[in-house]
Amino acid sequence: MSAPFTLESLNSLPLPAFSAAVGEVFEHASWVADAAFGHRPFATVAALHEAMMGVVRSSPAERQLAFIRAHPELGSKVKRLDITADSQAEQGSLGLDRLSDAEFQTFTELNAAYREKFGFPFIICVRRHTRDSVLRQFARRLSNDAETERNTALDEIAFITRLRLVDRVDGPGKPRTEGRLSTHVLDNVSGKPAMGVAVSLYEIGKSARALLKETSTNADGRTDQPLMAGAPLRIGTYELHFAVSDYFSAKGVVQAELPFLDVVPIRFSISEPEGHYHVPLLVTPFAYSTYRGS
């Protein structure tokens, strides 16, 4: 779906229309767009975002703190009226609007501890994290000092608003917001790409695993589409399953009645949401290897 505005059209809008177009990018802070308006014309979408973040970072300390405090806490069991549509969608994408009783209690306790220490809510760009990663960051950042955490909150706001702005504005020089996960299976018996290998991708959490995608390899030993693309890769742990026994059986390769390798699992972690992770498999019926490719 294309963005509703182009950078060219934004550059030509009067202040009220400009603010209406991008004012909601920053949570309850249309004043950011108002102040950035004076920096037009913007040569790139990235320049527009930098100008808006520059307004926030250079604002007086009290106004900056009030802006940070206007962000919602993570996790809720009721629909709140003080949360923007963007925040609702972002938290909903990670299931933070439908937590179990135990999960809700965990988030409630962490939110309270964080707010008591720092005086503002814990802010993180949830579109770049799995739920496990959010909880790890929550626990880690509670040990920070106030200045470090205030700067970290602003850095996370930069990630959040960069994604929101890219969703709204099309034009040259968009900041990089998307990652990609791909794979490639090589049959080391034939020395050729392995076609027809069933591939499953799972997210691995502390309490559960979630199937994200099922596909198979094409004539090049790759999947027709990346395993994940078009958005940030969520920081977390994943597992790829390759049904190699079925593949070698279909190729007529002699195997034992109980094949030595049935389904090959490769567990790996993603820490760069805007990066490219290529996880190839080189395989025979008796051995396999992998690495992070490019």
Domains of the chain: 5-170 (1.10.3330.10), 179-289 (2.60.40.180)
Work out the mean pLDDT of the chain and round it to a whole number.
94
Question: What string of DSSP letters covers 185-226?
Answer: EEETTTTEE--S-EEEEEEE-SS-EEEEEEEE--TTSB-SS-
Q: Which of these, 7, 4, 66, 56, lies nearest to 35 by C-alpha position?
A: 56
Read off the pLDDT of each residue in 144-149 and give the average, rounded to a whole number: 96
Please check the confidence at residue 100 and state whether its pLDDT lies above 90: no
Read off the pLDDT of each residue in 216-223 and give the average, rounded to a whole number: 98
Please check the confidence at residue 137 and state whether its pLDDT lies above 70: yes
Active-site annotation holds for 71: yes
- Cβ–Cβ under 8 Å, residues 222 and 197: no
Q: What is the pTM of this model?
A: 0.91
The pLDDT of residue 81: 59
3-class SS letters over 218-268: CCCCECCCCCEEEECCCEEEEEEEEEHHHHHHHCCCCCCCCCCCCEEEEEE
**Amino acid, res. 127:** R
Identified catalytic residue from 71, 129, 184, 241: 71
